[in-house]
Amino acid sequence: MCLGVPAKILETGDGTAVVELGGVRREISVMLIDDVSVGEWVIVHAGFAIEKLSEAAAEQTLALFREIAES
């Protein structure tokens, strides 16, 4: 039940946004996060975006992984 998944914002509305989850478009609440815009990534849990995903931080982690894989 406690599954939170990354999803990309497709549309924004009044306190809500539309994302694609497992191939299905779904309206979620964005009341727990600051303004989101289309194209941003969020983590969705139980119908709520609980946080934005930082693409820069994700790239840093992936770069670290590449370093480990090559060492």
Partner 1 sequence: MKYIDDFRDPATAKALVARIRRDAGDAPVRLMEVCGTHTVAIARGGIRPLLSGAVTMLSGPGCPVCVTPDGYIDAAIALGMDRGALLASFGDMLRVPGKSSSIEKEKGNGLEVRVVYSPLDAVTLAAAAPDREVVFLGVGFETTAPAIGGAIRTAAERGVGNFSVLSSVRTIPEAMGVLAADPEVRIEGFLCPAHVSVVIGTDAYRPVARRHGIPCVVAGFEPLDILMGISMLLRQRKEGVARVENEYSRVATAAGNRKAQDLVRDAFVPCDTGWRGIGVIPGSGLRIADRYASFDAEKKFGVPVVFAREKTACRCGDVLKGKILPVDCPLFGKACVPEEPYGPCMVSSEGSCAAYYKYGAP
Would you call 19 helix, strand, or coil by DSSP?
A: strand
Least Å distance between CB 30 and partner 1? Answer: 10
Burial class (CB in 10 A: 0-12, 13-18, 19+), 49: buried
Least Å distance between CB 71 and partner 1? Answer: 7
Residue with smaller CB distance to partner 1, 38 or 47: 47
Residue with smaller CB distance to partner 1, 11 or 62: 62
Site string for partner 1, 30-59 (x = CB under 8 A): -xxxx------x-x-xxxx-xxxxxx-xx-
Query: Would you count residue 24 as binding partner 1 (CB under 8 A)?
Result: no
Distance of alpha carbon 58 from alpha carbon 12, whole angstroms = 23
**What are 15's two structure tokens?**
């306190």
